[in-house]
Chains A and B, each alone.
Chain A
């Protein structure tokens, strides 16, 4: 049902295609006719819990700070142009250079707020980063 535009920036779906699409429009929108109709519902509570990510949390702020720092280091430490970075071994080099600095910082933070080491999480982040870089460079290629 879904398709992407040629540049890859628009995901298009003609109809609601999953629970995430319909949840809000069906529970929060639509014709409300309380005066005439009796509602008889169960299960809503379970569905609406955790629907929204709360932006203003300490956790989010620390993630933002870490990301800005990491992205900033990448920009200043590496004089290569961005497309070069995604080819050959350029990215790994930049990655390992920034990693040391950032992880040192994050470890200190985790220690302070009592999160302890989270090795598994770090692995996930690596994979995510690589995936994103790939799709970004692919998007650029199609763009031209």
Chain B
């Protein structure tokens, strides 16, 4: 009996040769297919190589048609278990919902000049720190700058979302990583709206002060929008 590693779920189709050569195959019913590879005994290791391979499989299949990417590290114990999963009504609903969608991840980062703008309104604290650069004065000033920066992040994330408006179907916000990070957004959109979003962001960067640096990745499979409301099963 075979055990399978699960990459994601898609519609039945011909797999590209490159993936077949890597041992990727489909376990399919009439209308849905689990993307799998045979798994040997032992745990799945979360190595760089394995993580990138997982992303490569779901992302290259998503270029052609809908893929619901699985979280890293799931194993199916048998073919029957795969078929049982595919038969869930929630799976069909998600496949239909994401037939034409894709995810874009958008990270914004400030230039250091943002600190000068945020600090502009903090004259008393700045003067106190310059007069006596003690740890206490530094923390008081830095804390106020941190608060100002947090407000700025909120404001700019809101401006981005407002600008993109109805082009975006859904959003998941993450805590931005890094001191000068502005925001970290996962955007759900339609595949044919990606170019329009890119254009709006180009225009937006020029309008913001100081300019924000965006990193836009995608079109990706809808990683952040495949939450399954699990039925209570035994």
- Inter-chain contacts of A22 with B (CB < 8 A): 51-52, 54-55
Closest chain A residue to B84, Cβ basis? A36
- Inter-chain contacts of B186 with A (CB < 8 A): 25, 29
State whether the Cβ of B116 lies closer than 8 Å to any Cβ in chain A. Answer: yes
State whether the Cβ of B162 lies closer than 8 Å to any Cβ in chain A. Answer: no
State whether the Cβ of B230 lies closer than 8 Å to any Cβ in chain A. Answer: yes
State whether the Cβ of B141 lies closer than 8 Å to any Cβ in chain A. Answer: yes
Chain A interface residue count, CB cutoff 8 Å, equals 70
State whether the Cβ of B96 lies closer than 8 Å to any Cβ in chain A. Answer: no
State whether the Cβ of A53 lies closer than 8 Å to any Cβ in chain B. Answer: yes
Closest chain B residue to A136, Cβ basis? B111
Identify which of residues 25-46 in chain A touch chain B, using a CB-to-CB cut-off of 8 Å.
25-44, 46
- Inter-chain contacts of B68 with A (CB < 8 A): 31
Say yes or no: A30 contacts B217, CB within 8 Å.
no
A34, A63, A64, most chain B CB atoms within 10 A: A64
Say yes or no: B46 contacts A27, CB within 8 Å.
yes
Identify which of residues 142-158 in chain B touch chain A, using a CB-to-CB cut-off of 8 Å.
142-143, 145-146, 149
A26, A53, A68, most chain B CB atoms within 10 A: A68
A-B contact pairs, 25 of them (CB 8 A): A7-B205, A9-B211, A9-B212, A9-B213, A10-B205, A11-B216, A12-B216, A19-B52, A25-B220, A26-B72, A27-B72, A30-B8, A34-B230, A41-B45, A41-B72, A60-B179, A61-B139, A62-B135, A65-B138, A65-B145, A66-B138, A67-B115, A71-B112, A72-B116, A108-B134
Closest chain B residue to A10, Cβ basis? B214
Closest chain B residue to A59, Cβ basis? B142
- Inter-chain contacts of A33 with B (CB < 8 A): 70, 74, 85, 228, 230
Q: Is the interface of B mostly helix, strand, loop or mixed?
A: mixed
The residue from A26, A68, A105, A108 contacting B51, defined by CB atoms under 8 A apart: A26
- Chain-A contact segment, one of B13-21, B24-32, B122-130: B122-130
| 0/1 string, A107-144, CB within 8 A of B gives 1 | 01100110000000000000000001000100100010
State whether the Cβ of B169 lies closer than 8 Å to any Cβ in chain A. Answer: no
State whether the Cβ of B233 lies closer than 8 Å to any Cβ in chain A. Answer: yes
Closest chain B residue to A74, Cβ basis? B116
Closest chain B residue to A108, Cβ basis? B133
The residue from B81, B113, B122 contacting A71, defined by CB atoms under 8 A apart: B113
